[in-house]
Amino acid sequence: MQDIDSLVRSFIYAFKGFCWMVFHERNFRIHLVCLGYMAYFLMRYDFFVLIRVECAVLVLASALVLGGEMVNSGIEKADDSVTRENIYTIKVSKDVAAGAVLVFAIASVIVGIILLWQPEAFRKLFEHYVSAPQYIVYLVASLVVALAFIFKLNSNFIRKLKKKYIAKKEKK
């Protein structure tokens, strides 16, 4: 039973780490938004033709970017907990970790271009949006929400929302 409790706790810690990344790391949110749009367009429309292996490669490339971003943030936080002083080796470890994420992101974009470069699919997608202007409005609205998610969502913003709405409930 202790093994199962330990396993459950490890998943809880992993989920907390993922949530921490969402609330504290802007670059992670950028990667999530890009992944979300890619997944939406691939699942919603049948314009793009991908076999299972190609889908798996896209998932792995995306996972490498997200995982790399998480490892990078972990290294940065661990380095910051050692000292705030300007120590050359800490600077190097942070720069190398960030460089690894850059390599993963560039590779992921290249994989996406190789697999998704289907001009006919993009033409059909464009025609779909032109033929139904309301979809353009939905797309623009979703981009506004995505940008707010990327640039406004952080722990301070959440704290302010909680304070504002909890204070309103207590006054009633």
Tokens 């952080």 belong to residue:
154
What span, in angstroms and rounded, lies between the C-alpha atoms of 126 and 4?
50
Six token digits for residue 82: 């050692």
Which entry of 54, 69, 120, 127 is annotated as an active-site residue?
A: 69
Compute φ and ψ for 9, nearest 5 degrees: -60, -40
Establish whether 69 is a catalytic residue: yes
Q: Determine how many CB atoms are found less than 10 A away from the CB of residue 76.
A: 16
Six token digits for residue 136: 């353009």
What is the separation of C-alpha 52 from the centre of its chain, rounded to a whole number of angstroms?
Answer: 23
What span, in angstroms and rounded, lies between the C-alpha atoms of 77 and 5?
27
Six token digits for residue 123: 């033409």
69 and 27 Cβ atoms separated by less than 8 Å: yes
Six token digits for residue 167: 């204070």
| Segment holding 11, helix H or strand E | helix 2-24
Catalytic positions are 69
